[in-house]
Structure 1
Amino acid sequence: MEELFTQWLQEYGYIILFIWSTLEGELGLIMAGIMCHTGHMTISIAIIVAGLGGFVGDQVYFYIGRYNKQFIYKKLKTQRRKFALAHLLLQRYGWPIIFAQRYLYGMRTVIPMSIGVTRYSAKTFAFINLISALVWAAITILLAYFFGEQLLQIVHYAKEHYYIAIPFALILGGGIYYYMHKATAKAEQKMTGK
């Protein structure tokens, strides 16, 4: 199975990278950086493909917000707190939040949709989003490229000792969930004034 997956990455790597970047894909970018390190991908093409994928994904989320407001309000009730936080961040920080939203765990899809719901300029959003996506792709892929040998060693070690990662993953996941829950609750509280 692993050999088949590696073969697919070598044959269809750029297509997989584009799709993965469209859907959210730091892990895909790290894999692309490692493949650039091993010589299976060209670094400049990987950065452009990943950047365009990230750009397209966020544009789709923006236009879902722009043209499907009722659907969003109805179907995404459970994300209410994240939407409140996204609106608060946009009001407080303006365009830099569009640039930084890729690095906010759990908010990458919510922020473009919530900006789409507002009257924010679609052209301005697209321009900032494109620059942000290319920078995001370049930083992640270059880091993975430069630390490719170390990452390959970690992957090899993790394959042999996978059971060690379980407690760390649980602690990390729990911490991220707790932090996001507190932050969104605080934002919702500020928005409602309660």
Structure 2
Amino acid sequence: MEELFLGWLRDYGYTILFIWSMMEGEMGLIMAGIMSHTGHMQILIAIVVAGLGGFVGDQIYFYIGRYNKQFIYRRLKTQRRKFALAHLLLQKYGWPIIFIQRYLYGMRTVIPMSIGVTRYSAKMFALINFCSAIVWAAFTISLAYILGEELLAIVHWIKDHFYLAIPLALLLGGGIAWYFHYQTRK
């Protein structure tokens, strides 16, 4: 199974990276950095592909907000607080919030949609979003490229000690989930 997965990454790596960057991104960028480190990808092409994927994904979210306001208000009732926070952040900080939105956990899809709901300029959003996506991809992939040997050592340790990795991941993930749940209750 592992060889099949690695074969897919080698054959369709840039396509997978583009799609992954549109949806979430960080793990895909780290994988691209490691694959660039091992020589299976070209780092500059990976940065461009990931940057374009992040840009396209956020543009889609922006236009979902721009042309489907009632659908968003009706369907995303559970995200109302995040939408209100995104509006407040945009009013208080302006364009820098667009630039850093992809680093804000839990807000990456909400901020472009909530900005789309406002009268913010689509051209200005696209320009800032493009610059942000390229910087995001370059920074994350380059960091993973530089730390490639260390990241590979961690992956090999996890493979060798898989019986410990699952409980540790559950403990860490549960702790993080509990923390965020506790913080949102306040």
Residue 166 of structure 1 is matched in structure 2 by 170
Q: What's the counterpart of residue 14 of structure 1? A: 14
CA–CA separation in structure 1 for the residues paired with 2:132 and 2:99: 5
CA RMSD of aligned residues (A): 1.2
The TM-score normalised by the length of structure 2 is: 0.94
Task: For 2:105, give the aligned amino acid.
Answer: Y
Task: Measure, in 2, the Cα distance between the counterparts of 1:165 and 1:68.
Answer: 38
**Residue type matched to 1:170 in 2?**
G
Mapped to 2, the partners of 1:117 and 1:177 lie a distance apart of 27
Rounded Cα–Cα distance in structure 2 between residues aligned with 1:114 and 1:178: 25
Q: CA deviation at 1:64?
A: 0.3
Number of residue pairs matched? 182
d(CA) in 2 for partners of 1:178 and 1:131?
35
Q: Please state if 1:131 is matched with 2:131.
A: yes
Deviations 1:22-42 (CA, angstroms, capped at 9, x unpaired) = 011100000000000000000
CA–CA separation in structure 2 for the residues paired with 1:135 and 1:172: 27
Q: Which residue of 2 aligns with 1:77?
A: 77
Alignment CA distance shift 1:117-1:128 (3 Å): same
Unaligned runs of 5+ in 1: 186-194
Map of 1:81-160 to 2, 5 A cutoff?
81-159=81-159, 160=161
Task: Give the fraction of aligned pairs with identical amino acids, expressed as a percent.
Answer: 72
Cα deviation for residue 177 of structure 1 reads 4.2
| Long gaps (5+) in structure 2 | none
| Gap change, CA 1:125 and 1:178, over 3 Å in 2 | farther
| Structure 1 segments of 4+ aligned residues over 3 angstroms from their partners | 176-179
Secondary structure of 1:108's counterpart equals: coil
Distance 1:101 1:177, change over 3 A: farther
